[in-house]
Structure formats: C-alpha cells, structure tokens
C-alpha cells in the first residue's frame, strides 16, 4: 500500500478549508442520538462522516475515521460531500461539466490536493465501488 505524504502546511490548509466550509454551510456536528441516521432524515445544519458514500441511503456518523468522507447537510438543506480533487477536476466541477469523471478523495492524496464541496445530487457513482489506495470515490458529474 502506498502512502501519499502530506506536509504540515498542506494539512493545516486543508483543516482551515474544512472549517471555513463548515462556517459557510452553517453546520454543527451530529448529536449522539442522530448518529447513524441517513442524511435525508437529518435536520438541516449538521455534518457527519460517511464510510460508504455513493450508496443510498447515506448514513452519517459523528466520529471521523480513517478514509471517511465529511458530509454537510447545509442550513438550506443541501447535502454536500467534501473531498480533494486535482486542478483539472476542479475546473470540471466549477463548470458543472456533466458526464465528466472525477475521483474524490477524503483527504489530500497524490495530485488531488484541492478541497471541494460537491452537491450530493451532482454525484453519479458507479454501480460497483473500487477499492484503491486513498479510498477515492469515482463519479461522473450529473
């Protein structure tokens, strides 16, 4: 298994970016009684962690674990999946390039160093999820 090292400044920048997205989306961490609930059943304004994004229903948990994805259900009720992509994938996401392929990583990995917040409704995952180093979620933009 290969490991993509992340420098301390990169880690700090990623953490700061995630904190900023939490502020923008106006979310709080899940309460213990909400743990394991599907994102659809949760109230607006919460965030949690998903171990198997791309599957419906999408349960969220309050505890982050290795290779889990952070998910926000923003104050307006929109669900977002946070992750890291390449510069080229960022351009495709910004352009809402329908059908473009993206590999979203739960943490910076290789050349996927740009933090993004993708509306969950724009994610079209494959039928079978591959298992790869870094735990990427491959999807096409819907």
Q: Across the beta sheet with 101-104, what order do the strands follow?
A: 101-104, 137-141, 123-124
**Any domain includes 45:** yes
Residue 3 within any structural domain of the chain: no
Predicted TM-score of the model (pTM): 0.89
Rounded to an integer, what distance in angstroms lies between the CA atom of residue 92 and that of residue 76?
24
pLDDT tens-digit series, residues 8-35: 556 677 889 999 999 999 999 999 999 9
Assigned domain for 49 exists: yes
Q: Does a structural domain hold residue 82? A: yes
Of residues 130 and 106, more confidently modeled: 106
Residue 92, domain member (yes or no)? yes
pLDDT of res. 7: 52
For residue 14, tell me if it sits in a domain. Answer: yes
In a domain, 131, yes or no: yes
The domain total for the chain is 1
Report the largest interatomic distance among the alpha carbons of the chain, rounded to a whole angstrom: 40
Candidate from 4-13, 32-41, 99-108 with smallest mean pLDDT = 4-13
Residue 132's domain comprises 8-141
Residue 116 lies inside a defined structural domain of this protein: yes
């Amino acid at each position: 298994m290969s490991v993509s090292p992340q420098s301390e400044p990169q880690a700090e920048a990623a953490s700061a970016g995630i904190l900023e997205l939490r502020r923008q989306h106006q979310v709080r961490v899940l309460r213990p009684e909400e743990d394991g609930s599907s994102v659809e059943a949760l109230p607006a304004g919460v965030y949690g962690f998903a171990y198997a994004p791309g599957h419906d229903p999408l349960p969220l948990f309050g505890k982050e674990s290795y290779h889990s994805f952070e998910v926000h259900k923003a104050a307006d009720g929109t669900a977002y999946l946070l992750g890291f992509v390449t510069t080229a994938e960022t351009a495709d996401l910004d352009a809402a390039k329908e059908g473009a392929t993206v590999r979203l990583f739960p943490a910076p990995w290789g050349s996927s160093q740009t933090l993004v917040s993708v509306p969950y409704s724009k994610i079209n995952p494959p039928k079978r999820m591959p298992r790869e180093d870094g735990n990427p979620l491959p999807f096409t933009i819907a």
